[in-house]
Chains A and B, each alone.
Chain A
Amino acid sequence: MAAVYKALSNGSKKSKPSTDTSTPDPTTIALLKQTRQRLLLLPSRGVTFRHRHLLNDLAALLPHARRESKLDTKTQLTQLNELADLYNCTTVLFFEARKGKDLYAWLSKPPNGPTIKFHVQNLHTMDELHFTGNCLRGSRPILSFDGAFDAAPHWRLAKEMLRQAFGVPPGARRSKPFVDHVVGFTLVGGRVWIRCYQIAETETDKSKKTDKMDKQTVEGESGGTSLVEIGPRFVLTPIVILEGSFGGPVIYENKEFVSPNAVRSELLRKKAGKFNVRARHGVETKAKLDELGLATGGKKMPRDPLDNREMFA
């Protein structure tokens, strides 16, 4: 089937103008070479099934990704540079799981590009979301970025890195020539929200040439295509940006980021504080009762000198 399509598309392409990739000028070829990206996609040890499913989803959506087995170490991440070099990968997306619950994503450009460390939150895989959207395995997505990404330098850098990680380069292995899904990156509350939609072409779009055209152009402006969500959903909070690949000086640090450990310990401490206060109150009450001579074995109140037992002793 693919061969048939190729033959057909080649035939049709020949009639088209020179912007086509089949007959490009040498500068375009050079540029396309530049855009060639390969993504190394791998988790650390200790990922849960949801993290693993997220990785599977991403691998299905990104045909230029190379899935690697779990990395053993969490301390010597520079090993990833060698690994990327070994597999000719220009980008590394490394998911680091900690404590079997927290997931961090390292997005890096080896050998000497910058590295961004994200905290992955609100993670929902395709499997658990039950969305009806579906797309071709290996079709190239449209990347839709929020305009807020251009506001700050670290967001500009994050945008470029995400573009190179999630954008399937033209002519990637196993990629399909059609566009049928869009990946949205939106900045809300200092975090990147990632959504993936199928582009559903409705029938009105195809019957545009009928006489009802006037009626539908208003609607067809946006109503021609509707989106159906595919999944997965997740949110990335940038933590730190390093100048090197998995190392080097820190060039950006997110002050607003609160580590999940801190959140958990704060909760625990709050609980402990409650207990401490109650314990203290207990001691205070006991002391008060002692003072009043109400507690068993407590101090006896001095007898009133006008008491009968005192007077007629």
Chain B
Amino acid sequence: MGKLKAALENNKGVDHKLEKQKKLRKQAAKRKRTAASKNEDAPQLDELDISRIDDTDTSADEKNDFDSEADEPEDPADANGVSLNAKQNGAAHTNGGAEQDDEDEEDEEAEDIPYSDIASLSSDDRGDVVPYQRLTINNHAALTASLARIALPLTSLPFSAHQTITSAAPIEIKDEEDDLTRELAFYAQSQAAVLAARAALTKEGSPFARPADYFAEMVKSEEHMGRVRARLVEDAANKKSAAEARRQRDLKKFGKAVQVAKLQERDKQKRETMEKIGSMKRKRSNALPERENENDMFDVQLDTESKKPSRSGDKDQGKTNHKRQKKNEKYGFGGKKRHAKSGDAQSTSDMRDFSAKGMKSKPFTGGRKRPGKARRASAK
């Protein structure tokens, strides 16, 4: 069937490829037309959306922060929150320096990015980006007005009415993390204030210190003070026991050192004696052949040290202890006891017990073979 159709088309001269291309072209043109008609509406919509989003953004900014960004360049004085606030309060802002500062800050702000955006970056990406901060609101006029409204007329009041002392110079603390110096500075400030206040109060005739027999309820209850006292006692006890323990430890260490020194001393003494004896022996063995020098060989020191005759009895050579000799012959007199049974060259060459007949007896391998390990184990 298919072959028939192909033959027919071949006859007519139909080009499949050409037809396909035509079809595609048509489809493309159609698509283009429909797209053009849609696009007429779409871009307008997009623009509208964008503008709306922009609007809401700026309005939110203005509402949330007091800083009006560089949107309104026509009034530079109005471009910071301070003067806005001043207007609200109906008081003109007079601090020109502060304004200048604020303007500077705003110039910086234009290039900065908010802190929250930076935080999401990783630390190496952050680099040296300066995060922008909220604009400072510091309305001097309103602050002083508020202060004037509530302030007490301190100058016209007697000191006993307010009991306030302000230090003449500001307290300077270099490092606020340093607890000790910080607390000392606080202490010094308060103490100076107490002295000044006491002088002022005594001048006015007001009572200062309470009499010793005046008892009244205290801020901290007796129970609380008891706890504080118990803690103090505990601390003191802890400190004392720690000191005692330390002393004991030190003593122990010292005692050990003494012991070690004593042992070393003893060792040294022993070594010296041994050396002396060794040298003596050496000299003696050297001197054995010529006995006439014997007297020279012994140190004078040794002579004085031991008057006892030596064991070998060599000292008085003329006399021989015959009894001793006999006994020595009979029992031996010490000497080497090790290796007495081990063979040497002499015992090896000793052939007295050898017999040729013994060599001809049945061979050594004739006996039963030793069973294997497993068999031995199972036989048990």
Instruction: Report which A residues bind B (CB closer than 8 A).
Output: 1-2, 5, 9, 13, 16-17, 19-21, 27-28, 31-32, 34-35, 57, 60-61, 109, 113-114, 126-127, 130-132, 134-151, 153-154, 156-157, 159-161, 163-164, 167, 169-170, 176-180, 182, 184, 186-189, 193, 195, 197, 199, 201, 221-222, 225-227, 230, 241, 243, 249-253, 255, 266, 269, 273, 276-277
With A5-B214, A186-B189, A255-B133 in contact, do A273 and B122 touch (Cβ < 8 Å)? Answer: yes
Question: In the assembled complex, which residues on chain B have CB atoms less than 8 Å from the CB atom of A2?
Answer: 216
Q: How far is the CB of B163 from chain A (nearest CB, A)?
A: 5
Instruction: Give CA–CA (A266, B136) in the complex, Å.
Output: 22
The reply to whether A251 and B139 form a contact with Cβ atoms under 8 Å apart is yes
| Given A147-B170, A189-B176, A230-B220, 20 more pairs with CB closer than 8 A | A5-B214, A35-B162, A114-B150, A126-B220, A145-B164, A145-B166, A146-B166, A154-B143, A157-B146, A157-B147, A160-B150, A164-B152, A179-B198, A179-B208, A199-B194, A225-B191, A252-B139, A255-B135, A266-B119, A273-B120
Kindly list chain B residues whose C-beta atoms are within 8 Å of the C-beta of A141.
163
Question: How long is the Cα–Cα vector from A127 to B223 in the complex, in angstroms?
Answer: 11
Q: At the interface, yes or no: B269 with Cβ under 8 Å from chain A?
A: no
Segment among B34-42, B226-234, B239-247 that sits at the interface with chain A? B226-234
Instruction: Give B155-185 as 1s and 0s: 1 = Cβ < 8 Å from A's Cβ atoms.
Output: 0111011111111111101001000001101
Chosen A-B contacts, 23 in total, with CB atoms closer than 8 Å, are: A1-B214, A34-B153, A60-B219, A113-B150, A132-B229, A134-B225, A140-B163, A142-B193, A144-B190, A145-B165, A147-B167, A148-B171, A149-B166, A156-B143, A163-B164, A178-B208, A179-B197, A179-B207, A222-B191, A243-B146, A249-B85, A251-B142, A273-B122
Q: Check: B286 CB closer than 8 A to any chain A CB.
A: no
Q: Please state if A269 and B120 are interface contacts (CB–CB under 8 Å).
A: yes
- Please pick, from B137, B205, B228, the residue contacting A253 in the complex, using a CB distance under 8 A: B137
Task: Enumerate chain B residues within 8 angstroms of A201, measured Cβ to Cβ.
Answer: 209
**Which residue of A has the minimal Cβ distance to B144?**
A153
- Asked, given contacts A184-B190, A249-B88, whether A178 binds B147 with beta carbons under 8 Å apart, the answer is no
Q: What is the interface residue range for chain B against chain A?
A: 35 or more
Interface flag for B138 (CB, 8 Å): yes
Q: Are B137 and A250 in contact (CB under 8 A)?
A: yes
> Least Cβ distance of B98 to chain A in Å?
11
In the complex, how many angstroms separate the beta carbon of A47 from the nearest chain B beta carbon?
21
Q: Say yes or no: B85 contacts A250, CB within 8 Å.
A: yes
Cβ B162 vs Cβ A132 within 8 A? no
Which residues from chain B contact A13 at a C-beta distance below 8 Å?
Answer: 205
Chain B window 199-238, contacts with chain A (Cβ cutoff 8 Å), 1 for yes, 0 for no: 0010011111110001111111000110111011000000
> Across the interface, do A137 and B163 meet the contact criterion of CB distance under 8 Å?
no
User: B134 within 8 Å of A by Cβ?
Assistant: yes
In the complex, the answer to whether B143 meets A157 with C-beta atoms within 8 Å is: yes
Question: Would you call B191 and A255 a contact (CB within 8 A)?
Answer: no
Say if the beta carbon of B374 comes within 8 Å of chain A.
no
Whether the Cβ atoms of A164 and B150 lie closer than 8 Å is yes
Q: In the bound complex, how far is the Cα of B122 from the Cα of A151, in angstroms? A: 40
How many whole Å from A126's CB to the nearest CB in chain B? 7
B21 contacts which chain A residues (CB < 8 A)? none
Contacts of A177 in B (CB 8 A): 206-207
Binding site for A on B (CB under 8 A): 66, 85, 88-89, 119-120, 122-123, 133-140, 142-144, 146-147, 149-153, 156-158, 160-171, 173, 176, 182-183, 185-187, 189-195, 197-198, 201, 204-210, 214-220, 224-225, 227-229, 231-232
- Find out whether the CB atom of A137 lies under 8 angstroms from the CB atom of B218: yes
Q: In the assembly, what is the distance between CA of A5 and CA of B144, in Å? A: 43
Q: How far is the CA of A17 from the CA of B187 in the complex (A)?
A: 34
Chain B residues near A195 (CB-CB < 8 A): 183, 186-187, 190
Q: Are B158 and A28 in touch, CB under 8 angstroms?
A: yes
Question: A241 touching B143 by the CB < 8 A rule?
Answer: yes
- Contact of B137 (CB < 8 Å), options: A147, A169, A252, A276: A252
Measured CA separation A248–B302 after assembly (Å): 113
Which residues of A lie under 8 Å from residue B224 when comparing CB positions? Answer: 126-127
Task: Given A179-B201, A243-B146, decide whether A136 and B216 contact each other with a Cβ distance below 8 A.
Answer: yes
Q: Given that A179-B197, A253-B137 are contacting pairs, would A146 and B219 also be in contact in the complex, using a CB cutoff of 8 Å?
A: no
Cα of A266 to Cα of B218 in the assembled complex, Å: 45
List residues of chain B with CB within 8 A of the CB of A249: 85, 88-89, 142
Q: Rank and list the top 3 A-B pairs by shortest CB-CB distance, nearest first.
A: A144-B193, A148-B170, A178-B210
Residue ID in chain A nearest B222 by CB atoms: A134
List of A residues within 8 angstroms of B156 by Cβ: 27, 31
> Does A180 lie within 8 Å of B163, measured CB to CB?
no
Contact B152 A35 (CB under 8 A): yes
Q: Determine the distance from Cα of A179 to Cα of B196 in the docked complex, in whole angstroms.
A: 13
Q: How far, in angstroms, from A3 to B161 measured CA to CA in the complex?
A: 23
What residue in chain A is nearest B232 (Cβ atoms)? A132
Which chain B residue has the least Cβ–Cβ distance from A135? B219
Given A148-B171, A167-B163, verify A227-B190 contact (CB < 8 Å). yes
